[in-house]
Amino acid sequence: MLVSMAGNQQTRPAIGELAKDTATGRIGVVMGGVGGRVQIGSVGGGMEWDAQPGNVVAPGAREELSARLAIRNGNSRDAL
């Protein structure tokens, strides 16, 4: 589900969805928001980072596929 940004036609991913931080080019999962920033968790695990809401967008189709493959590959390694 994409969340509408107030006063703007753009949308940004909701909690639990993949997102791209356009300021850094990184892709992650939206974890929440604190202090006017969006918290994004790394796809492969590790540290979350804060992003400005205006820099958080849905990833492109290729970016999303790549991130989903990385998640799946990580899950399959954990099962070994």
pLDDT at 30: 96
pLDDT at 26: 95
pLDDT along the chain (80 residues), means of 10: 49 92 96 95 89 96 92 68
pLDDT at 50: 97
Q: Distance from CA of residue 62 to its chain's centroid?
A: 14
- Taking every pair of Cα atoms in the chain, the longest distance, rounded to a whole number of angstroms, is 48
pLDDT at 78: 56
DSSP 5-74: PTTSS-EEEPTTSEEEETTTTEEEEEEEEETTEEEEEETTSS--EEE-GGGEEPPPHHHHHHHHHHHHHH
Q: Look up the pTM and report it.
A: 0.77
pLDDT at 4: 47
Look up the CATH architecture of domain 2-78.
Roll (2.30)
Return the domain boundaries, the chain. 2-78
Beta-carbon neighbour count of residue 16 at 10 Å? 11
